[in-house]
Structures are given as C-alpha cells and as structure tokens.
Amino acid sequence: MIGIIGAMREELELLLDELVGAEELRVGGYTLFRGHLAGKPVLISQCGIGKVNAAALAQIFVLEGVKQLVLTGVAGALGPGLEVGDIVVSTDAVQHDVDVRALGYALGEVPGERLSWPADAALQRLALETAGALEGVKVVSGRVLSGDQFIANRERARGLYRTFGGLCAEMEGAAVAQVCSRAGVGFVIVRSLSDSADGSAEVDFRTFTPLAARRAKAVVLGMLARL
C-alpha cells in the first residue's frame, strides 16, 4: 500500500476527489482514507501543519502497513532561479530549525541521527520522470528543508540556501523522512512552489497554492499510474 500525505486540505482534496472505493478510518485523531488511485491501493491523509503533526501521521502510516510514502504539497522557493509553479523532487531532507551546536553538532543535526534523510532512489526517479512529462513545468531535484517556521524573508531564505543548499522550505518533509527512514519505508517529497519565501510569500502563498496543489496532484497521480 502506498501512503500519500499532505499538510493542508487544498493539497489533498483533488486526490480525494479521484479516490475509488473510499473507506474512512479514524486513527490517533487523524482521518485516513483507504481506496484506489490509478488502480493502486493507497492510504491518504491530511497531517496538518508542522513537523510534529507530520511525524505523528507518518508513524500511523507505518503501523497501518504503508511500504512507500509520498509527501506532496507546496513550498517556498530557496534555490536561485526557482519560481512559483516549479516542482522540487527531494534528494534528501533536513530539519533546518534543529540547533544543538552548543554540544558540537552541526546545525540541523539531530544528535544520534544523520544530518539528512535520503529519499528512496526509485521513487525519486519516478517522481522526476512523471513531473518532467508535465508540459511547461520546470522540475528540479534537490534538498528539501523543513522547520516549524513559515519563511517569508529574503535574507533568511538566502541564508538557508547558503547554509544547507536546500532548494525549498516547507514545514513537514524532513519529519516524515525521519520516521520513514527509521521504519525502513521508502519515501519521496514532491513540492510545487507556491511562493519565494520572501517578503511577498504571504500573498503569493495564498494566491498560488491552488495552482501548485494542482501540479502536485498531477505528479502523484502520474507516479501511481507508472508504479
């Protein structure tokens, strides 16, 4: 069974509209939908905003028997040349807001863990192929940065890019990545850019999330069809 997680209703409702034989479950305070998309068995749920929500739902997916997981949705652009509507497929994910430097760890490093959690190579390839087939959409693959912060400041965005080399900032990916890595579940993050993580981010986020969510949905459906 393939798991699909999004943080916001807008990111998942388009996929839920297409779900065949939907069955609703309540587990640990989350609403999960089981069914078929593009003929494949899936489990879909909205985690809510931030790393704690994302990690809690990812663990439920692991316990429900999910073997591959796609986290989809929108993010703020950090990398040079990236614009609203572009798609980022994760190579790996880092928690940019983890700071145990006082004890000798690197910025972003959770003590006892790796600095970044790599995406599953096959899912990554599949996401890149599928997104690459969308007309007029730029697709890049690179590091995704996650933290419990909405990034809306150009200097901060530049600093994050310089420090970690992350191509986009969002609030859930690395948490899901950490849980999946521990459990041996393959994952990939597919984010469509809703804003540029700068002074216009608030307005752009609200304006462009519907477009970005449509693109993210197209990639997930295409991936499932090709699996």
Catalytic residues: 11, 195
Nearer to ligand SAH, 12 or 62 (CB): 12
Closest approach of ligand SAH to the CB of residue 154, in Å: 11
Nearer to ligand SAH, 109 or 195 (CB): 195
Nearer to ligand SAH, 14 or 38 (CB): 14
Nearer to ligand SAH, 7 or 69 (CB): 7
Closest approach of ligand SAH to the CB of residue 145, in Å: 9
Burial of 40 (0-12, 13-18, 19+ CB in 10 A): middle
Report the residue number whose CB is nearest to ligand SAH: 76
Q: Which amino acid is present at 78?
A: L
- Residue 208's contacts (CB-CB under 8 Å, 6 or more residues apart) are 74, 84, 85, 193, 194, 195
* The residue to which tokens 């990916």 are assigned: 173
Residues that bind ligand SAH (CB under 6 A): 7-8, 49, 73-76, 150-152, 169-172, 194-195, 197, 201, 205
* The residue to which tokens 């145990």 are assigned: 100
- Residue 80's contacts (CB-CB under 8 Å, 6 or more residues apart) are 161
The beta strand positions in the chain, using DSSP E, are 2-6, 20-27, 30-37, 40-46, 68-77, 87-95, 117-118, 139-146, 166-170, 186-195
Closest approach of ligand SAH to the CB of residue 92, in Å: 17
CA atoms within 13 A on the CB side of 148: 10
What is the phi/psi pair of residue 160, to 5°? Answer: -65, -40
Closest approach of ligand SAH to the CB of residue 46, in Å: 10
